[in-house]
Amino acid sequence: MLGPAPKQGPSTPFEWWFTAILAVFFGALFVAMVVVDYEPRKMMLVFLVVFWMLLLPLHEAGHAVVAFLVGWYVGQVVIGWGRPLLKFSLGRATIEIRALPLEGFVRTVPRNMDLPRLKSALIYFAGPGVELILLAILAAAIGPSTLMAASDSYPMIAAQSLSLAIIVSAFVNLFPHSVVTEAGPIANDGLGIINSFLVPASYFSELAGTTYNDKEDQWESYDPADWWKR
């Protein structure tokens, strides 16, 4: 549940060409790694990329759903980074799909001061948590020993790739660290869980009376009598 990611992608002709050349180079390198001396297990590389992108919306949905369940306001859900490709509303939340499906974030604020630290920690954990639940279901359905055994079966390779993608994603998100953005250092899920219990109560109380203004891309105060309009 990282904070706002940059909306802008390449803007000048040089940046576009440089990005395109890098994309072609690494794309060609990736294809070569798969097709040269091909064997079924090399498809794991392809599955890993595909599943990493598919896990991203599940991860962000986990944050948003748990925030809703604990009574927090969900203002914005962003999947990907770079230039926005699609934007729509779901209930009170603005959903935004961006160009590169590599990371995302959810903007939530408390509606009241009932256990805000615990709820904040739960919301941060919900992203990697829903992925780990999926891993547990997969392991229970296939069997841990079978899931870890070498195989040339494409369905099994896909299942193993999904498991590996979940493990890597959970580690990256739960290992406490911050990510440097244009808005400054932003805590990842692991650090966010820790910070939830360290920040002063005033941090939550200042946010409790706000909603997300999509047009202004900022939080603004709201009148409780007009809550139904949000």
Query: Residue 172 above 80 pLDDT?
Result: yes
Measured at the CA of 67, the angle between CA 63 and CA 72, to 5 degrees, comes to: 150
Contact criterion met (CB below 8 Å) for 49 and 163: no
pLDDT at 21: 77
| Per-domain boundaries in the chain | 13-229
Q: How confident is the model at residue 230 (pLDDT cuts 50, 70, 90)?
A: very low
Answer whether residue 7 shows pLDDT above 70.
no
Q: Is residue 184 over pLDDT 50? A: yes
Residue 173: pLDDT above 80?
Answer: yes
